[in-house]
């Protein structure tokens, strides 16, 4: 399964690089943190947005293991520095290997599954790469906070401030973070 996953992730990464670079982003793959303790799949940067680490994980149907592994990896890495600086945002990209299997046995359809995964990532202060809308999505309750991959210059200062506020709030709510009383 590992070889299949790595080929899927390589194909997804190549497609993402093409889309990000077309939108004026710079990209770098397989980047190690300064202390060598972490490696992200894709680092993207845009002057209007900042630096974003993207972790790509292949999911097999409703398997939660790969999803949980990817989220746990991002939570460990969020304090790390890359090229002497922390990253501005972290984004999760769960790639579903076979969407047709989703919902085929009376379970939720792909859209419901995607919404659940996005909500979980966002609750932890992470963004979520939506391949359909080609956006890095952050949301707070019913608000939609998103950065379009193709047009990052269209993101307003207010939108970035809202994303920053959301990410900061979510990070403070995590167990073990300063101010957490759990």
Instruction: Note the pLDDT of residue 171.
Output: 82
Among 52-61, 78-87, 109-118, the least confident range: 109-118
Instruction: Note the pLDDT of residue 139.
Output: 78
Confidence band, pLDDT 50/70/90 cuts, at residue 3: low
Euclidean distance between CA atoms 36 and 85, whole angstroms: 14
Euclidean distance between CA atoms 51 and 29, whole angstroms: 13
Confidence band, pLDDT 50/70/90 cuts, at residue 62: low
Could you tell me which residues come within 8 angstroms of residue 118 by beta carbon, excluding any fewer than 6 positions away?
128, 130, 137, 139
Phi-psi region of 154 (alpha: psi -120 to 50; beta: other; left: phi over 0): alpha
Does the pLDDT at position 179 exceed 50? Answer: no
Most confidently modeled of 17-26, 57-66, 72-81?
17-26
Question: What is the enclosing helix (H) or strand (E) of 160?
Answer: helix 157-173
Question: What is the enclosing helix (H) or strand (E) of 120?
Answer: helix 110-123
> Would you state the structure tokens that stand for residue 26, as one six-digit string?
């710079």
Does the pLDDT at position 1 exceed 50? Answer: no
Confidence band, pLDDT 50/70/90 cuts, at residue 176: low
Contact 103, 66 (CB under 8 A): no
* Mean pLDDT of the 124-152 span: 85
């Amino acid at each position: 399964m590992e070889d299949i996953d790595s080929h899927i992730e390589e194909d997804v990464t190549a497609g993402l690089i093409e889309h990000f670079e077309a939108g004026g982003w710079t990209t770098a793959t397989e980047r190690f943190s300064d202390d060598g303790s972490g490696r992200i799949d894709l680092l993207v940067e845009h002057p209007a947005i900042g630096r974003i680490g993207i972790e790509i994980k292949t999911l097999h149907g409703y398997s939660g293991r790969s999803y949980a592994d990817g989220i746990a990896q991002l939570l460990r890495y969020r304090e790390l520095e890359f090229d002497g600086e922390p990253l501005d945002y972290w984004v999760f990209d769960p790639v579903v290997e076979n969407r047709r299997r989703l919902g085929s046995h009376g379970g939720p359809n792909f859209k419901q599954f995607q919404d659940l995964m996005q909500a979980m990532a966002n609750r932890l202060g992470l963004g979520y790469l939506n391949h359909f809308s080609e956006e890095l999505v952050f949301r707070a309750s019913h608000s939609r906070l998103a950065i379009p991959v193709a047009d990052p210059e269209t993101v307003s200062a207010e939108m970035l401030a809202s994303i920053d506020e959301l990410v900061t709030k979510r990070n403070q709510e995590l167990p073990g973070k300063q101010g957490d009383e759990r």
